[in-house]
Structure 1
């Protein structure tokens, strides 16, 4: 039990450190439609906004609202420029992953290689799980489907 608590604490702190290190985006003020959509969905939450260009030609803009759900959990709500939510990402603990995903990670990665874990729900209500891991000095997002089946591993810079 002591080891589980230690692992959970490590994962949470690693998630926060990794988020700070990998998301050095300039804080911005989003368009009013985006800000109002966030405030309606998450009243009382104080976000830090950033923007990201996505799409094949990086021609679409997304506004990311990073905020604290509570003292130990962080979330990201992602909107298009009209205030339509495109995705929601919630930090979760290893034990909250589907069992199949847990088994895959235990088999393929050391516990200390797991840096962050998130449940992601997109605008089509599709749920995936993204796990940030390091292997051979590289960072990867390992993605699982809603049932915990392995989907893809994406190397991040």
Structure 2
């Protein structure tokens, strides 16, 4: 009887602990500071917010607000928990990539492999271009610098 009671207590405490943790990429409501900054920077826009853990030990929280800047363009604003904008990403057509990046893509990937293209500006005002590529049923981001020079390939989960 004591063992059953002890197991039941451990099970209940485990379930309560698991419920209090928010899984990454779950739709959330960000802190007031984040909402205030977003509404100030993008008045009239409505974002769907998710939570992401970043940093060397996944010890930093980022709130990602996905929204439409116009009827055809999706954007993503990334904030820390103090409401500081960490990055802004927006979709662009292939023609807006620097010529050097376009040449690299044409040489190395078939057009049907390209799934999405975005320009990203981080909090240090560094501009990069991310091109989502699907190859062998895996998704990769091919990253270019602001001049279109190849930077790195990152596999996405």
TM range (shorter): 0.7 to 0.9
Q: Distance in 2 between matches of 1:72 and 1:137?
A: 27
Match of 1:73 in 2: 73
Q: Distance in 2 between matches of 1:73 and 1:34?
A: 22
Match of 2:6 in 1: none
Instruction: Give the 3-state SS of the residue equivalent to 1:107 in structure 2.
Output: helix
Instruction: Give the 3-state SS of the residue equivalent to 2:151 in structure 1.
Output: strand
Q: Distance in 2 between matches of 1:144 and 1:65?
A: 23
Q: How does 1:5-154 map to 2 (within 5 A)?
A: 25-154=25-154
Give the Å deviation of 1:135: 1.6
Give the Å deviation of 1:55: 0.3
The unaligned stretches of length 5 or more in structure 1 are: 1-23
Give the Å deviation of 1:137: 2.2
CA RMSD, 1 decimal: 1.0
Q: Distance in 1 between matches of 2:136 and 2:31?
A: 41
Instruction: Give the 3-state SS of the residue equivalent to 2:44 in structure 1.
Output: coil
Determine which structure has greater relative contact order: mean sequence separation of CA pairs < 8 Å that are 6+ residues apart, divided by chain length: 1
Give the Å deviation of 1:138: 1.6
Q: Distance in 1 between matches of 2:62 and 2:126?
A: 18
Give the Å deviation of 1:155: 1.3
Work out the number of aligned pairs and report it.
134
Q: Larger Cα Rg: Structure 1 or Structure 2? A: 2
Give the Å deviation of 1:25: 2.6
Q: Distance in 1 between matches of 2:79 and 2:49?
A: 11
Q: Distance in 2 between matches of 1:89 and 1:121?
A: 7
Instruction: Give the 3-state SS of the residue equivalent to 2:70 in structure 1.
Output: coil
Give the Å deviation of 1:136: 2.2
Give the Å deviation of 1:69: 0.7
Q: Distance in 2 between matches of 1:111 and 1:63?
A: 32
